[in-house]
Structure 1
Amino acid sequence: MALSASSSPSSSFLRGSTTLHDLKGFRSVRLLDKCLVPSVPGDSCLRTFLVKPVCAELKRSDSVVPLAATMVAPEVEDRIETEDYEKLAKEMGHASPLEIMDRALEKFGNDIAIAFSGAEDVALIEYAKLTGRPFRVFSLDTGRLNPETYQFFDTVEKHYGIHIEYMFPDAVEVQALVRSKGLFSFYEDGHQECCRVRKVRPLRRALKGLRAWITGQRKDQSPGTRAEIPVVQVDPSFEGMDGGVGSLVKWNPVANVEGRDIWNFLQAMNVPVNSLHLQGYISIGCEPCTRPVLPGQHEREGRWWWEDAKSKECGLHKGNIRQEEVAQLNGNGNESAMDNDIFNSQNLVTLNRAGIENLAGLKNWREPWLVVLYAPWCPFCQAMEESYVELAEKLAGSGVKVGKFRADGEQKAYAQQELQLGSFPTILLYPKHSASAVKYPSEKRDVDSLMAFVNALR
């Protein structure tokens, strides 16, 4: 197998003048049982490592990741010093992604790898390249990805001169799932089982061959589950090669970076991106479970759109969900105990169960009603709160009543059966002199779009 290597960028890059074209021209050298990681020709500041040969004995036989190491990094000592990662996370809380990436690669060498999903986390590979250190990249091939994503994998490999280490689900497990429940069972009973077979278990196998991994998580990706992620942490869910709790470290170099800044970085560095982004996709997963989002929508609304917003994690980062939230996802706990109500305005009418039943039971409304079915913990409901309150202000005195009905918890089954609730938020208009409610069909929830819907049917 040919061995790919990277090196430190030239000193001119450190002055901010180097382009990606200046980083070309790498050469690799293979010497029996060792390799020299070369540097950019003409660089006066050479970084040369003695590295492990690709045929070296694996530390763990149950991990596939080391078999296709792409950027072979220097070995680290078998005994890694104890680190207070909570303290380190605070110290590096304001560090740049490049600085965090460099620290991670320096500390863990060949025992760390970047998790690449085929979306905008290609930024992680670019940051790793810019450190000048060797690095490894792995990805989970679920067998259900978009054709554009597979093409993007190939483009990334050629652009950076690497080989991505692909992890695949167990064929027997996939076969059993599909034979017993069909190809699209997740539309009926939730995505967790399919994700567990196709993503979580392959990831677990991969991570058992590592001491640390690098993810593209950002705080602004999912307000409900990722708002508090640190830049580095002891992984709360998975184990590393040494086994046991605390044996794996998780680095999140772009945790504090906003999505628009990631895209500015990718454009500035002329980094290749998945062509699906040009079609409205932001967060990209498996083809059956991902769709484009509209302008103004949160990026995670395109993932598992038929489910409640609070469930929009596949299990790879389940440690982000607090235990009390896990209980709620499983149908336990008291949701109202941890959530403050939303859509609070004197122009909004709060409907209880009796109120919504009376409204739904009428066959000829004297005045039109606009009602949102919501859950206060839902980040997408929270995101539209400002526009919905503003809409209520605009409709005050117009003859259109604006209301809200909390449809989670004990009310959810009723709302699903009787009020057309699919996911939160659901918006219903009860037109004057009509016999049935009209469900707002669009996911554009800005004031102008909602007003156009009301005016068309009022």
Structure 2
Amino acid sequence: MAFAVTSSSALHSSSLSSSIEQTKAAAQFGSFQPLDRPNFRSTAVNFSLRRCSVKPLNAEPKRNDSIVPSAATLFAHAEAVEKVEVEDYEILAEELENASPLQIMDKALDKFGNDIAIAFSGAEDVALIEYAHLTGRPFRVFSLDTGRLNPETYKLFDEVEKRYNIRIEYTFPDATEVQDLVRSKGLFSFYEDGHQECCRVRKVRPLRKALKGLRAWITGQRKDQSPGTRSEIPVVQVDPVFEGMDGGVGSLVKWNPVANVKGNDVWTFLRTMNVPVNSLHAKGYVSIGCEPCTRAVLPGQHEREGRWWWEDAKAKECGLHKGNVKEENLNGHGNSTLHANGTAAAHADIFDARSVVNLSRVGIENLLRLGERKEAWVVVLYAPWCRFCQGMEGSYLELGEKLSGSGVKVAKFRADGEEKAFAQRELQLGSFPTLLFFPKHSTRPIKYPSEKRDVESLLAFVNALQ
């Protein structure tokens, strides 16, 4: 797919900050015009092709031997050698670690010109477009239309195009692949066997196609967005998964200008600049994807719990940022991040308080066997690495304090690692956290059906069953 659109902003005449180092001018090869690109309007800017290789880790710059014979027939030998600009993006990421999103955006657009585009999902990514607009540089925006987006998202696309005087470059899934998936497995197979297959057809493959026409792309990833997958993303990196225009490992650069920005600060920026936003945000939606796989989050929930809510917390990536997912292993259940030396990273335990009883495997088995209990019990099945468990820690500890001396014991049982299979089989564990209530006169525990994890909601659940 060729990308065709620039913004109508005037060329940026000077650097935003003296701290942003100007890149060296690359060799010029004439005007760059993809075959299927429509003519620019009179105010648009024509970019010359600027060759810039991306340095893979532990690799030499890639040489394109295919251009040597033709170049040799036109130029002297000394002129036929293409000058290649090599950038160490790990060093650049360190240099830009404390830079503002506006500075990072300016650096990205200046460095890659018409060979870079902003990935826009119809959610908070509108902040990226506003930052690009503020640089004064021309910019491009692309989006993946999966065919299953919310009507509110399509409406936002139209509003963004009008505000910034651009045309979003849409990429669509292959119709035959979608047809085969739906015919063989139905419209909602992802509820039964996971979202990865559907995302691969509707999002990952179209994205791969779109990125093949670029040398760099800009995303709205933030470190505070997703448990276990985005906490270490740099502001710029060699893309670990996808290939760019030149092909091969290391041929695409990925920029994350808001990596170090908190979600609340992004929203402060959006409100300050009065930019259009998806109306779903006002209904409790934070992270917005396809309509069947997105819902509003509730009090006490992390923002990514609104995505693929029926799955385990560690699976909250669709494949677009697969490189974020670290190899994990703890007793074969994938619950602890591995360091480079192969050792498991330690996770501090949570729900530690005098008001919360720490149950062992024997303790929880005894609770299951007892038909008559002196006291009722409420138990959280948790994993200390789970961001959603961490997010409800305060309300659960407060629940323990409020129920102290009431005849209801508050407890915790760590249900990951070796205990996960047992918890899934005997304790109704679906995802972390799972809350169970053990009444005085029943052997079967009652699973908390809501995802509201504020203390008032938890108290209402317990009081209703006493």
Q: For the Cα contact (< 8 Å) 1:52–1:72, is it kept in 2?
A: no
Matched, 1:215 2:222: no
Matched, 1:315 2:319: yes
| 1:342-381 map, 5 Å | 342-381=350-389
The corresponding residue for 2:300 is 296
Secondary structure of 1:218's aligned partner: coil
Q: For the Cα contact (< 8 Å) 1:308–1:423, is it kept in 2?
A: yes
Q: For the Cα contact (< 8 Å) 1:343–1:389, is it kept in 2?
A: yes
- 1: CA distance between counterparts of 2:312 and 2:343? 16
* Cα distance change on mapping 1:206 and 1:246 into 2, 3 Å: same
Matched, 1:239 2:216: no
Could you list the runs of 5+ residues in structure 1 that have no partner in the other structure? Answer: 15-49, 59-63
- 1: CA distance between counterparts of 2:334 and 2:177? 24
Matched, 1:78 2:82: no
Q: Alignment partner for residue 426 of structure 1, among 426, 434, 458? A: 434
- 2: CA distance between counterparts of 1:302 and 1:336? 32
Using the TM superposition, give the Cα deviation of residue 3 of structure 1 relative to its aligned residue in structure 2, in angstroms. 7.3
- RMSD of the alignment, in Å? 3.0
Using the TM superposition, give the Cα deviation of residue 299 of structure 1 relative to its aligned residue in structure 2, in angstroms. 0.7
Q: For the Cα contact (< 8 Å) 2:12–2:136, is it kept in 1?
A: yes
Look up the equivalent residue of 1:354 and give its one-letter code. V
- 1: CA distance between counterparts of 2:29 and 2:265? 35
Could you list the runs of 5+ residues in structure 2 that have no partner in the other structure? Answer: 17-27, 54-84
The corresponding residue for 1:205 is 209
- 1: CA distance between counterparts of 2:239 and 2:40? 22
Q: For the Cα contact (< 8 Å) 2:383–2:416, is it kept in 1?
A: yes
The corresponding residue for 1:132 is 136
TM-score of the superposed pair, with normalisation by structure 2:
0.81
Task: Judge which range, 414-423 or 373-382, deviates more.
Answer: 414-423
Secondary structure of 1:323's aligned partner: coil
Task: Judge which range, 176-185 or 205-214, deviates more.
Answer: 176-185
1:169-197 superposed Cα distances (whole Å, 9 cap, x missing partner): 11111111111111111111111111111
Secondary structure of 2:437's aligned partner: strand
Task: Judge which range, 79-88 or 157-166, deviates more.
Answer: 79-88
* Cα distance change on mapping 1:67 and 1:398 into 2, 3 Å: farther
1:292-345 superposed Cα distances (whole Å, 9 cap, x missing partner): 011332110100000011110001111111123699677999999434332223
Secondary structure of 1:102's aligned partner: helix
- 2: CA distance between counterparts of 1:69 and 1:322? 43
Task: Judge which range, 421-430 or 435-444, deviates more.
Answer: 435-444
Q: For the Cα contact (< 8 Å) 2:377–2:410, is it kept in 1?
A: yes
The corresponding residue for 1:30 is none
Q: For the Cα contact (< 8 Å) 2:6–2:140, is it kept in 1?
A: no
Q: For the Cα contact (< 8 Å) 2:115–2:214, is it kept in 1?
A: yes
Using the TM superposition, give the Cα deviation of residue 52 of structure 1 relative to its aligned residue in structure 2, in angstroms. 8.3
The corresponding residue for 1:192 is 196
The corresponding residue for 1:47 is none
Matched, 1:157 2:161: yes
Secondary structure of 2:392's aligned partner: helix
1:84-105 superposed Cα distances (whole Å, 9 cap, x missing partner): 1111111111111111101000
Q: For the Cα contact (< 8 Å) 2:313–2:388, is it kept in 1?
A: yes
The corresponding residue for 2:91 is 87
1:244-277 superposed Cα distances (whole Å, 9 cap, x missing partner): 1111110000111111111111111110011111
Look up the equivalent residue of 1:145 and give its one-letter code. L
Same amino acid, percent of matched pairs: 72
The corresponding residue for 2:283 is 279
1:87-140 superposed Cα distances (whole Å, 9 cap, x missing partner): 111111111111110100000001000000000110101111111111110001
The corresponding residue for 2:345 is 338
Q: For the Cα contact (< 8 Å) 1:9–1:130, is it kept in 2?
A: no
Secondary structure of 1:324's aligned partner: coil
- 1: CA distance between counterparts of 2:193 and 2:158? 34
